[in-house]
A and B are shown apart, each in its own frame.
Chain A
Amino acid sequence: TQLLEQSPQFLSIQEGENLTVYCNSSSVFSSLQWYRQEPGEGPVLLVTVVTGGEVKKLKRLTFQFGDARKDSSLHITAAQPGDTGLYLCAGAQGAQKLVFGQGTRLTINP
């Protein structure tokens, strides 16, 4: 059983379109992180959200933490080919344990 469910698992869209990726759980997390991973590399942190209802923006990326701290979303506006990659959400349980979702593989076509 996956503690963190991401949807969709695969997404292929055209450049310029908008998209949203979801990360859902029945568990409460002390914080939630989003990472992006490119082929042959390790995941790289994009953002950490800590407070229920928190919204953070990183250029064209908007991250939201659910009010109950069980879910999160990542919205990309006007997607570009450089946004292509594997997007991973990860929930922190306590101070030191991080659990990852299965990832969303995003492909932006020129």
Chain B
Amino acid sequence: EAGVAQSPRYKIIEKRQSVAFWCNPISGHATLYWYQQILGQGPKLLIQFQNNGVVDDSQLPKDRFSAERLKGVDSTLKIQPAKLEDSAVYLCASTQVRLNTGELFFGEGSRLTVL
């Protein structure tokens, strides 16, 4: 079974530029998450999708971050314009079953460096 796929693995941009990250979850997984992990910290939830609907985006900085999950499968996370503090690893995860008994499957992450 293929895992969660993310791209690109690495991206370096200058502040005020834009960047987009792509995620393909495990086939059949209805719930998809984007987490931000700053170096030395635990993952912080940015947005959660159930199929193609947003369940929770309370911690997404909506003035610069946007995300979509067209057709309830792939998802894209965009940052525009980027700030220095956006330097982090962006992790995509998916799950099939109810989370309190199930496992969250993570991709390898996309590492963003903002100069």
Contact = CB atoms under 8 A, between A and B. Distances in A.
B101 A43 contact: no
Given A31-B101, A96-B50, A44 B106 contact: yes
Contacts, number: 71
B42 A88 contact: yes
A97 to B, nearest CB: 6
Interface stretch (B11-19, B61-69, B71-79, B91-99): B91-99
Contact of B99 (A42, A44, A92, A105): A92
B54 interface: no
Nearest to A94: B100
Contacts of B45: 97-99
Contacts of A95: 98-100
Interface in B30-79: 31, 33, 35, 40-45, 48, 50, 55-56
Contact of B43 (A30, A43, A45, A94): A43
A40 interface: yes
Place the interface of chain A in its size category. Answer: 20 to 34
A96 B55 contact: yes
B43 A96 contact: no
Contacts of B44: 100
Given A42-B4, A42-B91, A98 B99 contact: yes
A48 interface: yes
Nearest to B58: A97
Contacts of B43: 43, 88, 100
Interface string A16-57: 000000000000001101010000111111001010000000
B42 A31 contact: no
B42 A102 contact: yes
Given A43-B91, A94-B100, A97-B45, 5 more contacts: A4-B42, A31-B100, A31-B101, A42-B108, A42-B109
Interface of A: 4, 6, 30-31, 33, 35, 40-45, 48, 50, 88, 90, 92, 94-103, 105
